[in-house]
């Protein structure tokens, strides 16, 4: 069985699926290798502008690390040199990733979601970092990405108690972009992806590149990287196409360069 499925479902949109429903899509070595390969494939393909990440089966988006693998002494396989845990949480990505969450996103599963840019959740989804309940630390980014994603007091409560929150609560605090009926999660993620792909892909990528550094750089440094992004986009064919399409009263035809 392929633990990670890859499909280009529409022009410019890829769907990546963690395919271990019998294990609640927990991360083993094959999942880590498969997700890393998917990231590399998407980064290398100029025709893919947005990626959607989901989990098979509808019960869990991802339950985190496969503890059976860890107890068997194979824990090191759950991370890759370039991608970190799941081959994903530290991977360098220029494309937009949308998490489509059905069921539980717990522990490493929530850390994978926090590594994505946007997220859509089913109304029965739950979110949490329960590591402290097992004397562990959410070390794949959860302990610092969660306080950046939601209000500090709520993040600290989630981290210190290990208790999960509902999809409705996750939307209220800004952890997810939208909550939909459970069976409509991938469709809703596709609809969100289409709203992105109508835009110039280089401009989207350069804008994301600046926005992702907003918490890491000083304002002076951000002015520099923003200026560099603006200069870079002016060198593209799409920079000319945008105003031309506006004047000609038609939809722009982006070429991605």
Alpha helices in 151-200 (DSSP H): 152-161, 167-172, 185-197
Cα gap 70→79, rounded to integer Å: 12
The yes-or-no answer on residue 111 being catalytic is: yes
- Phi, psi of 88, deg, nearest 5: -135, -45
Cα gap 17→30, rounded to integer Å: 13
Catalytic residue among 3, 36, 69, 111: 111
The yes-or-no answer on residue 248 being catalytic is: no
What Cα–Cα distance (Å) separates residue 230 from each residue in 27, 196, 207, 239?
39, 19, 9, 10
Helix pair angle (142-149, 108-115), 10° resolution: 50
Catalytic residue among 131, 219, 221, 248: 131
Please state, as a whole number, how many other Cβ atoms lie within 10 Å of the Cβ of residue 20. 23
Residues carrying an active site annotation: 111, 131
């Amino acid at each position: 069985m392929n633990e990670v499925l890859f499909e280009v479902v529409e022009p410019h949109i890829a769907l990546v699926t963690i395919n271990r429903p019998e294990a609640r899509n927990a991360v083993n070595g094959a999942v880590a290798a498969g997700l890393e390969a998917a990231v590399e494939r998407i980064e290398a393909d100029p025709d893919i502008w947005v990626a959607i990440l989901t989990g098979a089966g509808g019960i869990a988006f991802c339950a985190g690390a496969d503890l059976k693998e860890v107890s068997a002494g194979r824990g090191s396989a759950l991370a890759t040199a370039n991608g970190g845990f799941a081959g994903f949480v530290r991977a360098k990505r220029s494309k937009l990733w949308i998490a489509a969450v059905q069921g539980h996103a717990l522990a490493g599963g929530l850390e994978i979601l926090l590594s994505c840019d946007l997220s859509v959740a089913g109304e029965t989804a739950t979110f949490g970092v329960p590591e402290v309940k097992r004397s562990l630390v959410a070390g794949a980014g959860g302990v610092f990405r969660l306080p950046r994603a939601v209000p500090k007091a709520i993040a600290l409560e989630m981290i210190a108690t290990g208790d999960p929150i509902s999809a409705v609560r996750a939307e209220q605090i800004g952890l997810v972009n939208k909550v939909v009926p459970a069976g409509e999660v991938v469709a809703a993620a596709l609809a969100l992806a289409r709203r992105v792909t109508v835009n110039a892909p280089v401009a989207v990528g350069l804008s994301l590149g600046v926005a992702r550094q907003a918490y890491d750089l000083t304002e002076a440094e951000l002015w520099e990287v923003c200026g560099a992004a603006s200069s870079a986009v002016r060198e593209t064919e799409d920079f000319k196409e945008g105003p031309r399409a506006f004047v000609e009263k038609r939809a722009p035809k982006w070429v991605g360069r």
